[in-house]
Chains A and B, each alone.
Chain A
């Protein structure tokens, strides 16, 4: 046997092979314009660097030049999956600044609309979790129901996705009988479909294996990252603005705040699923208890008068002109109002200096705040889990980038 001392054996590379993967900005799996530069060791994520701002539209700056009524359409474009919650949250902020008393009927109608919006938002999120785990069927089932909600919006305000629903002070018109029919139809049909959807996924072995333990976050970390909404509740903390600081008569209704335990994809899915049932319950209660009365508050300086009065009544014409031109008197003040958006605490911090536009308007956007925990959550997980984590956190690009 010849000794081969002169011949060097190839050095075995025992170091890890690190590669970089550019996930996004426009990747079908990210459901929106998100870029993540992933440092990968095989299929495991070592580090993730998100870049955001691809659809930044400077809403806070735009708002500084718009009269209060004209800011409603830009709130639509924050979380466009549940635009009515943003609209109504903004109306309530202005009403708080003005100190307007809102009729009980308006508050109940708002609750109905906001809970419908919450259901559609959760439908999108949960159906997409299904799609990302390979179950397209549930998505199709639930999207049929989402369409019904959009038809309800259409009946109430004329638009579907970016609703611009309601006015400062109430609604532009009362719900028509046709709208009530559509709401009733939705309330009748959704439970069956939802049960079918839950039958497909809730105890599905493949789905559970795929989602339990993926993308988890502890309660302490979630709080430290200022999580709110279903993502916080999935981690086990029962913070819900609807209960903590009730607005729009939420204190009149009985409902349960579902909480999870592990804060993983499965818990987020289940929390959202249960919230849909609770929302249905709230809508039913609101419809049963719906008081009679006007569908808007008496704020002629902000609420557009009916068209026939504009043509026949001097005062109405003046108010119409002033509102459209944004020349109404606004009190000075500083208010913060928050509502439970579909993704968490949606806050409006408004400073008015008495001018026709806000001096400063800051949106507390839940998506923007919890998306920063994403690199920490996906660290050490597989690439496919990272995609699932993003869809289960329900990061909405419009709200993220404002």
Chain B
């Protein structure tokens, strides 16, 4: 559980350089989460990395989430300050039609494959990424399979009835 003082500190560190970038913030269960505007996300993470009061210098993970009803794709970043053991989750919401966001590879070398994976599965274009290619799927695949419009099984099949227990 993150104390209120620490949360305010992180918010103020972001606000001192990037005003009006925070859309909302709060605790989701035990995890402090900040929803940001998408334009300056890489700069904000860069700022949080170098600022002496935050020093979020470890990228735990990043991944995409598709919300077909809002026609949005969220990209979630989890940062970790290993000195004080504070974790923070940052989220940006992108349009699902043409999802684009700046790359984080300039700050974290480890973001490279994580972003490629997100591109592969959600089609999020990371602007400035050195090698934005598919990573786990075959290169000539034309869809981004983790999007919700692609069902796990072919829905036109008639030999398997999933009437009772399908989602």
Contacts and interface: CB of A to CB of B under 8 A. Distances in A.
Interface in B113-143: 113-114, 117, 121, 135-138
B35 interface: no
Contacts of A362: 61, 63
Interface residues of A, number: 45
Interface string A233-255: 00001010000110000000000
A52 B165 contact: no
A336 interface: yes
Given A62-B152, A368-B113, A349 B135 contact: no
B58 A226 contact: yes
B109 A373 contact: yes
Interface in A366-383: 368-369, 371-373
A74 to B, nearest CB: 13
Nearest to B110: A226
Nearest to B57: A223
A227 B146 CA distance: 26
A152 B66 CA distance: 42
A61 B60 contact: no
Interface of A: 52-53, 56, 58, 60-62, 64-65, 96, 221, 223-227, 237, 239, 244-245, 325-326, 333-336, 338, 345, 347, 349, 351, 355-357, 359-360, 362, 364, 368-369, 371-373, 401-402
Secondary structure call for the A interface: mixed
7 contacts: A53-B136, A64-B152, A223-B57, A224-B109, A333-B29, A372-B110, A373-B109
Nearest to A356: B167
Interface residues of B, number: 33
B18 interface: no
A53 B121 contact: no
Interface of B: 28-29, 31, 57-61, 63, 65-66, 76, 78, 82, 85, 89, 108-110, 112-114, 117, 121, 135-138, 145-146, 152, 165, 167
Given A223-B57, A226-B59, A333-B29, A52 B136 contact: yes
A402 B136 contact: yes
A372 B152 contact: no
A227 B65 CA distance: 24
A72 to B, nearest CB: 18
Contacts of B138: 53
Nearest to A62: B152
A355 B167 contact: yes
Contacts of A65: 152, 167
Given A53-B137, A336-B31, A368-B113, 16 more contacts: A52-B136, A96-B29, A221-B109, A223-B57, A223-B82, A224-B109, A225-B110, A226-B58, A244-B82, A335-B31, A336-B89, A349-B61, A349-B76, A364-B61, A373-B109, A373-B110
